[in-house]
Chain A
Amino acid sequence: SQKIEQNSEALNIQEGKTATLTCNYTNYSPAYLQWYRQDPGRGPVFLLLIRENEKEKRKERLKVTFDTTLKQSLFHITASQPADSATYLCALDIKSYIPTFGRGTSLIVHP
């Protein structure tokens, strides 16, 4: 069956370090992969989109990689700040245009 895996354990890091979050998938061949941020009590907010033929995408302190051979995307936040603390979700299209989200990984940045 089709599956998306994000680390269910919270990631705790110190301010200023680089946070790396993982999104693994099986039995998909997605054309697109998106990353969202979700704060408690709020809806997800779009961060980055990467296409299957792109290896890497950057936006300010954010970087996303997409390895279709490993079936994995890595999401990096450099120079992390306490304000980056949130849950980060990845989303893939499983059937051309049907979005499926992972369960998300909680990031906690300690001052």
Chain B
Amino acid sequence: EAGVAQSPRYKIIEKRQSVAFWCNPISGHATLYWYQQILGQGPKLLIQFQNNGVVDDSQLPKDRFSAERLKGVDSTLKIQPAKLEDSAVYLCASSLGLSLHYEQYFGPGTRLTVT
């Protein structure tokens, strides 16, 4: 079974530029998560999708971050414009359903450096 795919693995941009990350979850997984993980901290949930609908985006900085999952499969997270504090690893995860009753499968992450 293929795991969660993410691209790119690494990205370096200057502040005020834009960047986009892509995630392809495990086939059949209805729930998709985007997390931000700053060095030395745990993953922080940015947005959670159930199929193509948003379940929670309360911690997504909506003035600069956006995410979509148009066909209920793969997803894109965008930052525009980037700030220095956005430097982090962006993790995508998927699971069979809502709640921690289901285990989350994580991708390898995209390491973003904003200079």
Closest B residue by C-beta to A96: B99
Interfacial residues of chain A within 16-68, with CB under 8 A of chain B in the complex: 30-34, 36, 41-46, 49
Task: Knowing A93-B100, A97-B98, say if A43 contacts B107 (CB, 8 Å).
Answer: yes
Chain B residues near A49: list those with CB within 8 A: 100-101, 103
Instruction: Give chain B nearest CB distance to A103 CB in angstroms.
Output: 5
Any chain B CB within 8 A of the CB of A89?
yes
Q: Is A70 an interface residue (CB 8 A)?
A: no
Tell me which residues from 61 to 111 in chain A have a Cβ below 8 Å from any Cβ of chain B: 89, 91-93, 95-104
Asked whether B106 lies within 8 Å of A99 as measured between CB atoms, the reply is no
CA distance A36 to B41 in the complex (A): 14
Task: Check A43/B106 contact, CB under 8 A, given A89-B42, A98-B45, A99-B45.
Answer: yes
**Complex Cα–Cα for A102 and B43 (A):** 8
The answer to whether B42 touches A102 (Cβ under 8 A) is yes
Determine the interface band of chain A, counting residues with CB < 8 A from chain B. 20 to 34
How far is B85's CA from A64's CA once the two chains are assembled, in angstroms? Answer: 35
Q: How far is the CA of A32 from the CA of B41 in the complex (A)?
A: 21
* CB-based contact B56/A98 at 8 Å: yes
B96 to chain A, nearest CB (A): 12
Q: Hey, what's the 0/1 contact readout for B99-111 against A, CB within 8 Å counting as 1?
A: 1110111111100
Q: Which residues of A contact B48 (CB under 8 A)?
A: 97-98
Contacts of A100 in B (CB 8 A): 45
Q: A49-B100, A93-B100, A96-B99 are in contact. Are A43 and B109 (CB under 8 A)?
A: yes
The 10 A-B pairs with the shortest beta carbon distances in the complex, nearest first, are: A43-B106, A101-B42, A32-B100, A46-B103, A97-B98, A97-B99, A93-B100, A103-B42, A101-B43, A103-B41
Known pairs A31-B100, A33-B100; list 18 more (Cβ under 8 Å). A6-B42, A31-B99, A34-B100, A34-B103, A34-B104, A43-B91, A43-B93, A45-B106, A49-B101, A49-B103, A89-B43, A92-B100, A96-B98, A97-B48, A98-B45, A100-B45, A103-B41, A103-B42
Sample (26) of A-B pairs whose CB atoms are under 8 Å apart = A6-B42, A31-B100, A31-B101, A32-B101, A34-B100, A34-B103, A34-B104, A36-B104, A42-B108, A43-B91, A43-B108, A44-B104, A45-B106, A46-B103, A89-B42, A89-B43, A97-B55, A97-B98, A97-B99, A98-B45, A98-B48, A98-B55, A98-B56, A100-B45, A102-B42, A103-B40
